[in-house]
Amino acid sequence: MADVSFSAGSDEECEILVGMVHDRLSREYAHQPIRIVESETSDENHSTTASEKESTAEEATENRLASVNTWCRCGMCESETLGDEKEAICCLEVPNCVKMIAAEASADKQCITLHQDFDVLCLHTTVLRNVLVSLNHTRMDDWNISNLDNRSYRWAAYRQFTWWVYAVLGARIRRVVPACAVNAIRKAFPEVSGDYTGYQSADE
C-alpha cells in the first residue's frame, strides 16, 4: 500500500483511505468463496423441505424392507439376509462397487459377487485363514486357526470385502456390506442355527 499522509481527517481523506483499504482487501481475497446469507424465510422453507425429505426417506426405508425388488438392481440380494433397514443396500448403489464392476468390462457381470476377485478375496478359505492369522498377530486374540467355524470365516469375509471395496476400515470407520455380498458369504459359510449378527454401527 502506498504511503499517504493526511492531516486531521476531512471527509475526502477518509473516503480515499477507505477506498485504498477496500482495493487492497479486494485483491487479497479475490479468490475466496463468497458466503451467501439466506433470509429467515428461506431457512423456514429449508427446514420444511428437510423434514419432508426425512419422512420420504423413512417411507422408502420401510418399502425396502417390504420388497427387495424395489431397490435391488443386481438381482442377487435377498430379504432373508436383511436384519434391518441399514442392510437394505444393493452393490449397484455403492459407487466403489459400480466402478469395480465397470472395470471388469463384461456385460454379464452386473453384481459385485460376480466380479472375478470376489470369490478369491471373500470366499476362499485359505485367504480368509490368512486374514485371521494376520489379525491374530496384530490383535493378540486367541484364535484356534486349525479349527475355524463358519462364523469366523464370515467375519473375515466381511472384513476382506470392506478392505477390497473401500480400502479403509477401523474401530470408528464402518461400512455396510451390500445385501448381495452378505447373501453370498452366508451361503458359503452358513450358520447351523440360522441366526446371524447383522451390521453393527461403531456405537453399538
**pLDDT per position as a tens digit, 167-189:** 876 666 667 899 999 999 999 99
> Residue 85 has what pLDDT?
79
The position carrying cell 424395489 is 70
> Residue 86 has what pLDDT?
80
> Residue 165 has what pLDDT?
94
Residue with the bigger pLDDT between 175 and 120: it is 120
Residue ranges covered by each domain of the chain: 71-188
- Give yes or no for residue 149 having a pLDDT over 50: yes
Confidence of residue 21 (pLDDT cuts 50, 70, 90): low
> Residue 6 has what pLDDT?
45
> Residue 175 has what pLDDT?
78
Residue with the bigger pLDDT between 138 and 194: it is 194
Cβ atoms of 139 and 171 within 8 Å: the answer is no
> Residue 28 has what pLDDT?
53
| DSSP result, 68-103 | GGGT-SSS---GGG-SSGGG---GGGSHHHHHHHHH
Mean pLDDT (the chain, rounded): 72
- Give yes or no for residue 8 having a pLDDT over 60: no
136: Cα separation from own chain's centroid: 27
> Residue 35 has what pLDDT?
45
pTM here? 0.62
> Residue 123 has what pLDDT?
96
Q: Closest Cα to residue 201, out of 76, 60, 84?
A: 84
> Residue 78 has what pLDDT?
85
Confidence of residue 127 (pLDDT cuts 50, 70, 90): very high
Confidence of residue 41 (pLDDT cuts 50, 70, 90): very low
Residue 179: C-alpha distances to residues 19, 50, 91, 182 (Å): 63, 28, 8, 5
